[in-house]
Amino acid sequence: MPGAREDRHKFDFDGGTVSLDFVNTVSGMRGGNDPRDRILTYPDLVYWAAQIGLIDSRQAADLYGRAEREPGRAAQAHVEAIRRREALHDVVVAAVGERPPPATALGTVNGWVAEAMAKRRFRMAAPGKFEASLEDDGDLLAFLRPVALDAAELLEDEVSQGLVGVCEERLVGRCAWLFLDTSRNHSRRFCNMDECGNRAKQRRHYQRRKHSQP
Ligand SMILES: [Zn+2]
């Protein structure tokens, strides 16, 4: 099965924040029904990052070129990115279920956040005003640093306030995407109304018809 770049896959951004969209680059159910990881290679990761706007097309072209010239390092960077993504997934899912996070996963997320924080640089934008930016030191995963900082805020704020939901299609083993639930009364049920919401609606409709037939 091809990865996102070869497939020219159009990613969905239903998570409401970049770190959840990163976690949602796996469709279906992890460890269950037909999981599909769209990020099978380092170029797939770059493809996602360009689509979500973490890098521009020039930076993407540069990273594709580096992946061709340094395939070993690119493969290593890909493994590391997936390790971080899965750790974040495990920590958030545990928190949503009000379970303690797996220690290794939390350690990985902490390490990732610390690495990103260490690359924050302040500069004076105008007298008395500072701007922070992330240093691009040429690391193949430098563009994931904003994702780490977003994950840190997510854990401290929305996760801790119970504002992260899991798509209800998980109950039928179809989708377990995570999303920020900013709806009133925390009533959001699906990652996406057009796909998961509609599918659930059609299933209910079909079941009602089946039951009402003699
Ligand atoms: Zn869904």
Instruction: Tell me how far the alpha carbon of residue 176 lies from the centroid of ligand 1, in angstroms.
Output: 6
What does the DSSP assignment read for 53-98? TSS-HHHHHHHHHHHHH-HHHHHHHHHHHHHHHHHHHHHHHHHHTT
Instruction: Tell me how far the alpha carbon of residue 141 lies from the centroid of ligand 1, in angstroms.
Output: 28
pLDDT tens digits, one per residue of 83-100: 999 999 999 999 999 999
Helix H or strand E encompassing 132: strand 129-134
**Which residues have C-beta within 8 Å of that of residue 170, sequence separation ≥ 6?**
29, 176
Over the chain, what is the mean pLDDT? 94
User: Could you identify the residue written with the tokens 């996070």?
Assistant: 101
CA distances from 48 to 23, 102, 174 (A): 12, 27, 22
Tokens of 97: 């279920």
Q: Is the entire prediction scored with pTM above 0.85?
A: yes
By the CB criterion, residues less than 5 angstroms from ion ligand 1 are 167, 169, 175, 177, 191, 196
pLDDT tens digits, one per residue of 125-143: 999 999 999 998 999 999 9
Instruction: Tell me how far the alpha carbon of residue 170 lies from the centroid of ligand 1, in angstroms.
Output: 7
CA distance 176 to 167: 5
* pLDDT for residue 213: 64
Nearest to 39 by CA among 51, 31, 48: 48
pLDDT tens digits, one per residue of 43-81: 999 999 999 999 999 999 999 999 999 999 999 999 999
Beta strand 26-27 with 178-180: parallel, antiparallel or unpaired?
unpaired
CA distances from 24 to 163, 178, 190, 198, 205 (A): 17, 7, 13, 19, 28
Separation of first and last alpha carbons in the chain: 44
Instruction: Tell me how far the alpha carbon of residue 128 lies from the centroid of ligand 1, in angstroms.
Output: 46
Q: Which of 44-48, 104-108, 170-174 has the lowest mean pLDDT?
A: 170-174
Instruction: Tell me how far the alpha carbon of residue 26 lies from the centroid of ligand 1, in angstroms.
Output: 11
pLDDT of residue 178 exceeding 90, the answer is yes
Q: Fold for domain 4-212? A: Jann2411-like fold (1.10.3300)
Instruction: Tell me how far the alpha carbon of residue 195 lies from the centroid of ligand 1, in angstroms.
Output: 7
Domain boundaries, the chain: 4-212
**Which residues have C-beta within 8 Å of that of residue 109, sequence separation ≥ 6?**
84, 87, 88, 91, 151, 155
CA distances from 101 to 90, 91, 93, 107 (A): 7, 5, 8, 10
The type of residue at 119 is K
Percent of the chain with pLDDT over 90: 85
